[in-house]
Chains A and B, each alone.
Chain A
Amino acid sequence: MTVVFVLLPLVVVLAAAFVAMFIWATRDGQFDDVRTPQLRILFEEDPVTQAEAPLRGGSGEKERS
């Protein structure tokens, strides 16, 4: 049972890390709009070559402020 003395604090730290990630994601605005992303999945483009890809703005997950 002594292993819990190591594991439990570790788990707490891990949980705290996830909470921190959640807080960051929320502040970043990733939960502001939960309706549009489910539609965007429909907009799959024709296969884009690597060279072209950076030129295509707007439809990827670029820019959120």
Chain B
Amino acid sequence: MGTGLSHRGEGKTQTLCAHCGLPVPGSLVQPEGTPSFCCSGCKTVYGVIRSAGFDRFYDLKAVDDERVDVPANPKLVTFAEFDDPDFLEMHTRVVDGARRIDLYLEGVHCAACVWLVEKLPEMLDGVVSVRLDFGRAVATVLYDPNVVALSKVARALDRVGYTPHPFRSSDRRDLARKQERKLLIRLGVAGAAAGNVMLIAVAMYAGADEDPTVASLFRWVSLLITLPAVLWSGRTFFSGAWAGLRAKSLHMDLPVSLALVGATGSSIAHTVMGQGHVYFDSVAMFLFLLLAARWAQLRALRTASDASELLFSLAPSKARLLSDDGVSREVPVDSVVVGQRVEVRSGESVPVDGVVEQGQSRVDNSLLTGESVPVSVGEGAEVHAGASNVSARLIVRVTATGENTRVGRLVAAVEEAQRRKAPIVRLADRVASVFVFVVLLLSGLTAFVWWGDGSEVVVERVVAMLVVTCPCALGMATPLALINALGSAARNGIFVKGADTVEALARLRHVVLDKTGTLTQGKVSLTSFEGGDGLLEAVAALEAQSSHLIAHALEASAPAGAAERHRVEDVEEVAGGGLRGTVDGRRMVLGTVAFLRGSGVEVGPEWLDRSSRAAERGDTPVLVAADGAVSGLATFGDPLREDSLRAVGALRRMGMTLGVLSGDHPAVVARVAESLGMAKDEVRGGVSPEGKLAAVEQMAAQGREAAMIGDGVNDAGALAAARVGIAVRGGAEISLATADVFLTRPGVMPAVHLVRGCRATLRLVYRNLGISLVYNALGASLALAGYIDPLVAAVLMPISSLTVVLSSALARPFPLQEGPSRLVAGVAREREVPA
């Protein structure tokens, strides 16, 4: 949620923000020669960077052609909770007298960001070093606690535009990193073994084994190299096969293990006996290729699962605790207990559930309920953690903290829903268990057919069978197709967290959408104004005296500084009605038709008509009267995103049935749905977060499994319960932890691309399985007939792998939207039409 305005694309020559490069709204454009900014955040950051002498940042930005423009959004808070001893204990480690902390940084998007963040030691004494992991936007900061406080480090990062968040579970991250390193080492060992054994094998095929002593040496050296690779690197497959057997299922690792054990065993026997074939080269290569596929898959999935850790990073971590004498101090939210009082300043989010004890304000519950309109709260009103306090200071008596808050309970429900979700039986697994059974059967058959020829021949034939039918296509091609899909999706700003999501999404036929923040922009703004700029300015000046949310919407659209240029007097606000006051001596009344009439203003049929038409559109009309006569009409609403209509149409063309579940008022939801042509679909408004979860589960129970697209905390439960949950960025990043897919571009259109890509990927997987099954059937029958010895099998096996690997690598499941290939295809289609 940027502080910037989102007007785009008006006017021919656009002024671009001097910091982030996004278009600058007209009212903020500065004269030639002076830098213009899209928002106050960018302006602040630009000032800090310039004054520190880091102008090179902007040169570096120009170098990076893949950058995504992001307006800077510094929070400009104190980060005092970063200095709390408990906080330091939880998030930092002591390293040689200094302290180390991993911080997730918001807003990291280009090479220049890395440069600027790593310049921190030059800006701040006491910071020893900063290393930024660009892919994950995680900075590892080493600082000297005796020289500089952590809060100061956090403030410095925030003021150059990268708001830091601590990782809550550094232990889990360490564990994941260790696992990944281990797999990489296994892969490296297998690769080194494969390379070296292959060199020896080539020498042997070339005739080096004619001399029996040399041949024996080569075999023993090959054995020495291969054995540790099989025993250690191959353990992944052995344990997978064993676990599968114990669970009484035929896992794909089983034939892999059997082939490994069989080929290695017979090779060792032949080496010891000094006669017969050895297959160390094929064993090592086989192992290496399979591990490579596994490792690549793990790596591709990591980016997305890292993003889910953000749930814990972005949750409010501090509270302002009030002591009895009325002094407030910042403490970690975990240390607040029920019965204490906390202060919530304007613009902050509420850290706990509680009852307002003092103060009058409005709170924005949109994260929690999806309502786009903030509600007024006064003494005795309940407020919930996660809501944000919009207008004035509140003192809140704590009634629940942490897991007992409404958000906490919701998160618990989400976890419960995730647990209940049946694990998907993946296509590859289903095929694998049949496949494994067939392979084992064939091997048994081979052994039976050749039984009479002695154990030597039987072992050779069976190993040939196992190697030639090696499920490489299953073991490699499917992961490769998925990695290819996930990789190109990530380049398009779509992060998929699990490989099974691709398959699930390709099969789904139902999509449930959230309204606020997903189909719409998620904030109230001025949608139209009739009556001229002068009147708008006067209205804005008058509304500036009010705390109503419409005032905020006007503030964003009206010319800057309107409030200062006009003399506003005698302001009187009537709740649920409107506003009266004098602006520059003119008597003005703003509000509903009834309120204007009540204030003695004649409302003509023309204005009545316009006003009711606006209401039919789903907007809130506000009539403007000056000196006793109606002279204008302002309408407010939560406007649709530009691409929503197109996205809804595209989803329907793909054969999806659509539905809307929203927490907003049913009438508003119905109108939005109608304007998107979804009147006939299942559209429900006024649904609580728990209700959304229940609705999605009910659909699943009726056999209509759905993908849920949403953005807020209120969608989190539904996102978790849905077969595939798709979180849209732009609203709450908090929902992405529970989602299977995370879209970094706002709106529904990326989801359309995602579904399209997933379907293309599934077709690719089918193609690969087809190729390999045909290939294996051919190989198996030849092996059964005894035409293939293990050596030929080992040569044939990589050829089949190569076919499917090429087939996977050449596919483009997610074409870039404006790519040349698409353009060419379009031209070709156009040419065909006239013929």
Contact = CB atoms under 8 A, between A and B. Distances in A.
A59 to B, nearest CB: 6
Between B115, B127, B218, the greatest number of chain A beta carbons within 10 A of the residue's beta carbon is seen for: B115
A26 B129 contact: no
Contacts, number: 96
Between B129, B130, B136, the greatest number of chain A beta carbons within 10 A of the residue's beta carbon is seen for: B129
Interface in B163-185: 177, 180-181, 184-185
Contacts of A57: 121, 128-129
Nearest to B178: A27
Contacts of B217: 4-5, 8
Nearest to B138: A33
Contact of B181 (A9, A32, A33, A43): A32
Nearest to B115: A43
A26 B192 contact: no
A65 interface: yes
Interface of A: 1, 4-5, 8-9, 11-12, 15, 18-19, 22-23, 26-27, 29, 31-36, 39-40, 42-43, 56-59, 62-65
B809 interface: no
A32 B121 contact: no
Interface in B200-238: 200, 208, 211, 214, 217-218, 221, 224-225
A4 B184 CA distance: 32
Contact of A64 (B120, B131, B218, B221): B131
B196 A15 contact: yes
Contact of B132 (A8, A18, A36): A36
Contact of B214 (A4, A22, A32, A42): A4
Interface string B753-774: 0000000000000000000000
B139 to A, nearest CB: 10
A62 B177 contact: no
A32 B224 CA distance: 30
Interface in B117-169: 118-122, 127-136, 142
B119 A39 contact: no
Contact of B129 (A9, A42, A58): A58
A2 to B, nearest CB: 9
A65 B135 contact: no
Given A33-B134, A42-B115, A63-B142, A12 B221 contact: yes
A35 B491 CA distance: 14
What are the 5 tightest A-B residue pairs by CB atom distance, in nearest-first order?
A39-B111, A35-B135, A58-B121, A36-B134, A33-B133
A23 B610 CA distance: 74
B100 interface: yes
A9 B100 CA distance: 45
Interface string B108-119: 000100110011
B101 interface: no
Interface of B: 60, 63-64, 95, 100, 111, 114-115, 118-122, 127-136, 142, 177, 180-181, 184-185, 188-189, 192, 196, 200, 208, 211, 214, 217-218, 221, 224-225
A26 B181 contact: yes
B201 to A, nearest CB: 13
Contacts of B122: 56, 58
Contact of A8 (B130, B181, B221): B221
Contact of B185 (A22, A58, A62, A63): A22
A63 B188 contact: no
B389 to A, nearest CB: 38
Nearest to B114: A39
A18 B64 CA distance: 35
Given A19-B189, A57-B121, A58-B121, A31 B129 contact: no
A33 B508 CA distance: 35
A26 B100 contact: no
A26 B188 contact: yes
Given A40-B114, A65-B100, A19 B128 contact: no
B119 A63 contact: no
Nearest to A43: B115
A25 B60 CA distance: 30
B351 to A, nearest CB: 33
A63 B131 contact: yes
A26 B64 CA distance: 29
B171 to A, nearest CB: 16
A26 B184 contact: yes
A1 B133 contact: no
26 contacts: A4-B208, A8-B200, A8-B217, A12-B221, A19-B192, A22-B192, A26-B188, A29-B181, A31-B181, A32-B177, A32-B180, A32-B181, A33-B136, A34-B135, A39-B114, A39-B115, A39-B134, A42-B60, A42-B63, A42-B115, A43-B114, A43-B118, A56-B122, A58-B120, A58-B121, A64-B131
Contact of B135 (A8, A22, A33): A33
A35 B211 CA distance: 50
A59 B123 CA distance: 13
A58 B119 contact: yes
Given A5-B217, A15-B192, A33-B134, 14 more contacts: A4-B208, A11-B196, A23-B188, A26-B181, A31-B184, A36-B133, A36-B135, A39-B111, A39-B115, A39-B134, A57-B128, A57-B129, A58-B118, A58-B121
A29 to B, nearest CB: 8
Contacts of A59: 118-119
Contacts of A40: 114
A22 to B, nearest CB: 5
A42 B116 CA distance: 12
A27 B134 contact: no
A42 B59 CA distance: 11
A39 B109 CA distance: 12
Contacts of B196: 11-12, 15
A5 B60 CA distance: 56
Contacts of A43: 60, 114-115, 118
Contacts of B100: 65
Contacts of B119: 58-59
Nearest to A45: B56
Nearest to B142: A63
